[in-house]
């Protein structure tokens, strides 16, 4: 059983993967095993050439490593000159400020880009809505949160939206969203079923709890 498997692996790496493919796979495996490797690689790139792209790449690496303090420092450093209003960087800053629970800064940043066409229905708009909710601006929060309610997508965000409606007394809307997610979960691809398994479990549990009230 072992020999055929070894032979198959040897054939795969020698015949199917070329050297560049093999290097890429090896690099991706190393990044998964050692999350800080991506940060160190990005630091070396920035030291070699202090460009906007390299600065953002380092910020992204910190963000992916859940180091939101360093991520925000480098995102902010990137917002200079021609890149002061860069939509992607400001969007990432919104995420980092939300993770740090700095809701006032989330709102300030979001209001810099909310007129951009990319902002509507985006994750940044949703996070903006959550920040507004945290500061008690409920009507404004709903206006920005409700756009995330799109069928066959955004399951985790829609579950959060359902909890927002429940918290603010809109039980009918809560049930509508939960029932939609439950119905859609029955038609998910196997990939989405695995990805959103816990979300669907939470949705079903929440829906059952509402039935007992």
Q: Does residue 33 surpass a pLDDT of 80? A: no
Q: Does residue 19 surpass a pLDDT of 70? A: no
Q: Does residue 201 surpass a pLDDT of 90? A: yes
User: Could you count the other beta carbons within 10 Å of the beta carbon of residue 203?
Assistant: 23
- Between CA 182 and CA 9 the distance in angstroms is 41
Q: What is the pLDDT of residue 137?
A: 97
Return the higher-pLDDT residue of 34 and 89.
89
- Between CA 142 and CA 145 the distance in angstroms is 5
Q: What is the pLDDT of residue 14?
A: 54
Q: What is the pLDDT of residue 213?
A: 74
Q: What's the Rg (C-alpha) of the chain? A: 22
Q: What is the pLDDT of residue 4?
A: 56
What digits encode the pLDDT tens for the residues 144-181? 999 999 999 999 999 999 999 999 999 999 999 999 99
Average confidence (pLDDT) over 193-212: 96
The region of weakest confidence among 32-36, 101-105, 195-199 is: 32-36
Q: Does residue 55 surpass a pLDDT of 90? A: yes
């Amino acid at each position: 059983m072992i020999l055929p498997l070894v032979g198959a692996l040897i054939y795969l790496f020698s015949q199917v993967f070329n050297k560049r493919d093999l290097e890429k796979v090896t690099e991706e495996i190393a990044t998964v095993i050692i999350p800080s490797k991506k940060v160190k690689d990005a630091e070396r790139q920035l030291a070699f050439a202090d460009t906007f792209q390299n600065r953002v790449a380092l910020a992204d690496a910190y963000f992916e490593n859940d180091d939101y303090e360093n991520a925000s420092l480098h995102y902010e450093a990137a917002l200079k000159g021609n890149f002061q209003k860069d939509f992607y960087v400001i969007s990432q800053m919104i995420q980092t400020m939300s993770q740090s629970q700095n809701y006032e800064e989330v709102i300030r940043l979001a209001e810099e880009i909310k007129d951009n066409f990319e902002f509507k229905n985006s994750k940044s708009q949703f996070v903006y809505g959550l920040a507004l909710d945290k500061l008690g601006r409920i009507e404004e929060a709903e206006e920005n949160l409700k756009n995330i309610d799109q069928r066959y997508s955004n399951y985790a965000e829609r579950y959060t939206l359902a909890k927002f409606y429940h918290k603010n007394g809109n039980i009918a809307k809560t049930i509508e969203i939960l029932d939609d997610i439950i119905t859609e979960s029955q038609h998910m691809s196997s990939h989405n079923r695995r990805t959103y398994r816990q979300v669907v479990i939470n949705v079903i549990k929440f829906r059952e709890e509402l039935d007992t009230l």
